[in-house]
Structure 1
């Protein structure tokens, strides 16, 4: 109990009365490790990601687990629950793959129908959930919170399916999520999302190259330092 009390109360002071929530920092570190494992197509990416999701879930519920002045981002909190559910699905799916290598999945492009479904799902899903999140008291602008929720759902599902395009969905999430998190005062997550924006582009090219090699096709030119 003492450890849990310390974990929920611990802060990292950054000056001028501002601070970082330790759980937020740890959750994002786990998330980064999971993203790295996903780029390398390692099975351990899923359980490590779940650990980070559990920590961030307590952060984004705001005043329920923290100070009364902490902003509540229902989209961010809800997507942590979604991450856990989809991670279990992805974990089981990857375990069932027989790739003939130490990688858990072979990247491939989604079908045209699946791509259209991703675009429609992103736009329509965000539009339908925005008024719901607003009624529940989510932080403004609510559409941005909803966009990150829906995009995260689709990106995680795409990773579980092994679609190369899932990295580009993360880019779309980061473009909206970074300014939202900064405005809500979640600085650690905002900085991490900013880094993710660069990381996801690298991951996209890494998976693209692996997919091209699996079909005996030359990949597009990319920096030589990128390695799968």
Structure 2
């Protein structure tokens, strides 16, 4: 059912390939702020949970479960919009205090996950898995609130994920995350322009 196959010279599996397609669709929909991105995120997260379990990337596996829960919440956030108005949730930036809080949360999550993965799993990359899992959680929360900085977090995380997945011989997923880097840059530019347009309207 999930037997290995070769696609364009890359070793992969049907599950990894399906997760790849759904994940690309998720980011495309996020860039255009189409709320159906959250449904694709739920489906791709469930599939990648299985893929990462097989690769002994337990932090990433658990992260997919969190992604599913956060995606349900994010979907609601995008649909509910601004309280007491009919507007959709706007793109905004973190203020300085929120920015430092986000960085602190990333480092704290990294430390806790690194410790847990080192002591309670057989992963061979606890530091990388912990750091990137914590960063991905931060990126997902910021995305759910349509914070512009979510794309900056994703660029950092996705660049490092490329190296990790090459190390774990998940070559198709490494290619996927290289594509994510480019898409995150496009998303950062698109959302920056959206924010400028909104400020011009307000002025």
1:45 paired to 2:29: no
Query: Contact 1:139 / 1:184 at 8 angstroms: preserved in 2?
Result: no
**What is the match of residue 54 of structure 1?**
46
Instruction: Tell me which of 75, 96, 99 is aligned to 1:115.
Output: 99
**What is the match of residue 156 of structure 1?**
140
**What is the match of residue 32 of structure 1?**
24
Instruction: Tell me which of 166, 173, 179 is aligned to 1:189.
Output: 173
Q: CA deviation at 1:125?
A: 1.4
Q: Deviations over 1:100-143 (max 9, x none)?
A: 67xx5321111222111111111221122102112232533311
**What is the match of residue 126 of structure 2?**
142
Query: Contact 1:25 / 1:188 at 8 angstroms: preserved in 2?
Result: yes
Match of 1:164, SS state, is coil
More relative contact order in 1 or in 2 (CA 8 Å, sep 6+)? 2
Alignment CA distance shift 1:110-1:138 (3 Å): farther
1:10 paired to 2:3: yes
Partner Cα separation in structure 1 for residue 198 and residue 6 of structure 2: 48
CA RMSD in angstroms, aligned pairs only: 2.0
Q: CA deviation at 1:25?
A: 1.5
Query: Contact 1:79 / 1:149 at 8 angstroms: preserved in 2?
Result: yes
Partner Cα separation in structure 2 for residue 116 and residue 176 of structure 1: 21
**What is the match of residue 22 of structure 1?**
14
Structure 1 consecutive aligned stretches of length 4 or more whose deviation exceeds 4 Å: 98-101
**What is the match of residue 124 of structure 1?**
108
Match of 1:216, SS state, is helix
Q: Deviations over 1:45-83 (max 9, x none)?
A: 001110111111111111xxxxxxxx3101110110111
Partner Cα separation in structure 1 for residue 119 and residue 187 of structure 2: 36
Partner Cα separation in structure 2 for residue 199 and residue 14 of structure 1: 22
Query: Contact 2:80 / 2:89 at 8 angstroms: preserved in 1?
Result: no
Alignment CA distance shift 1:14-1:94 (3 Å): closer
Alignment CA distance shift 1:72-1:213 (3 Å): same
**What is the match of residue 66 of structure 2?**
82
1:210 paired to 2:185: no
